[in-house]
Homo-oligomer: A and B are copies of this chain.
């Protein structure tokens, strides 16, 4: 590491004062055009780079956003992080990441680490498990620390959230299958206390109610998680007698696990049994049996989330509730 060129060196080189150089570099109105150009050239010539720490110390801004997702191995969250990063980089922000493994304590630790690192704001996929202590989040909210939620929210803190309209998505897809005449449908969700499950379930119930059909709660299966393996295991460990017409998984990854296990049992998809996912991850269309699913536009969600957060950072006043993003049912071969 060669010793670094500071703004002082640029000032000395140009014969201007440090303040002028600083303002020139920041494009201040009060500096003459030609001075700005001159300073820019000199800075370039000397290879000057702003020291981010000094800048941050003075401005109290780091232009770094912290982001917490449950599990980066899940392609859905992979795509989410990818889009968030893209949106942020475009606006000259950096993204620092953490993975909470669906554990509220880890999420809490990450949040406080991020704050200690001086992030300007946080985007989190909250761990909405109701069993856990949420006071940290409440305090942040009360201090109006810029944290926004994506893809879920805390029941008690339904603010600054961007998520897909899960209930409506599930309503649509359930209704469409009810209309086709299928009634015996199984729903493999994760922990039903979590918002993402309970919202979907509401959609399901609403669809049955709208169709005037009674909903049998024994068709809800609570898997050990929302992963490929959880889907796989749920099918493998199922000892019941009921063979549903359609199985709905809480997400595509889980649907893939379910399909895999069903096939291993010798069933054909969609002939013997239909399977639908949720999310429309990028290769859902290219699976051996292209997957019927409900698309949440991750890209749109991420863009809205970043916009919401940055608007808050800039002090613009923003929508503070739960913004729901429209979903779309996509019928593919796995459940024609």
**Chain A residues within 8 Å of B, Cβ to Cβ:** 1-2, 49-54, 56-57, 60, 62-64, 71-75, 77-79, 81-82, 85-86, 89, 94-99, 113-118, 143-145, 228-229, 232, 257, 259-260, 263-264, 282-283, 286-288
Is B75 in contact with A89, judged by CB distance below 8 angstroms?
no
B residues near A78, Cβ cutoff 8 Å: 72-75, 77-78
A213→B272 CA distance, assembly (Å): 46
Once A52-B116, A52-B118, A118-B53 are accepted as A-B contacts, the answer to whether A72 and B72 lie under 8 Å apart by CB is yes
B residues near A54, Cβ cutoff 8 Å: 53, 57
Across the two chains, which residue of chain B brings its CB closest to A227? B283
B residues near A2, Cβ cutoff 8 Å: 143
- Nearest CB of B to A152, in Å: 20
A85→B79 CA distance, assembly (Å): 17
Instruction: List 6 additional A-B contacts (Cβ < 8 Å) besides A50-B116, A53-B53.
Output: A54-B57, A73-B282, A82-B99, A86-B99, A94-B114, A288-B288
B residues near A282, Cβ cutoff 8 Å: 73
A98→B96 CA distance, assembly (Å): 9
- Nearest CB of B to A102, in Å: 13
Is A118 in contact with B51, judged by CB distance below 8 angstroms?
yes
B residues near A50, Cβ cutoff 8 Å: 116
Across the two chains, which residue of chain B brings its CB closest to A50? B116
Is A85 in contact with B99, judged by CB distance below 8 angstroms?
yes
Is A57 in contact with B53, judged by CB distance below 8 angstroms?
yes
A82→B85 CA distance, assembly (Å): 16
A168→B283 CA distance, assembly (Å): 31
The 8 closest A-B pairs by CB, nearest first: A53-B56, A53-B57, A260-B288, A52-B118, A228-B283, A72-B82, A78-B78, A96-B96
- Nearest CB of B to A278, in Å: 18
A209→B124 CA distance, assembly (Å): 53
A290→B79 CA distance, assembly (Å): 25
- Nearest CB of B to A8, in Å: 14
A116→B52 CA distance, assembly (Å): 7
Once A64-B117, A260-B286, A286-B260 are accepted as A-B contacts, the answer to whether A97 and B85 lie under 8 Å apart by CB is yes
Most buried by B among A77, A229, A287: A287
Is A82 in contact with B75, judged by CB distance below 8 angstroms?
no
Across the two chains, which residue of chain B brings its CB closest to A257? B286
B residues near A228, Cβ cutoff 8 Å: 283, 286
Across the two chains, which residue of chain B brings its CB closest to A60? B53
Is B143 in contact with A117, judged by CB distance below 8 angstroms?
no
Most buried by B among A63, A64, A81, A286: A286
Is B81 in contact with A283, judged by CB distance below 8 angstroms?
no
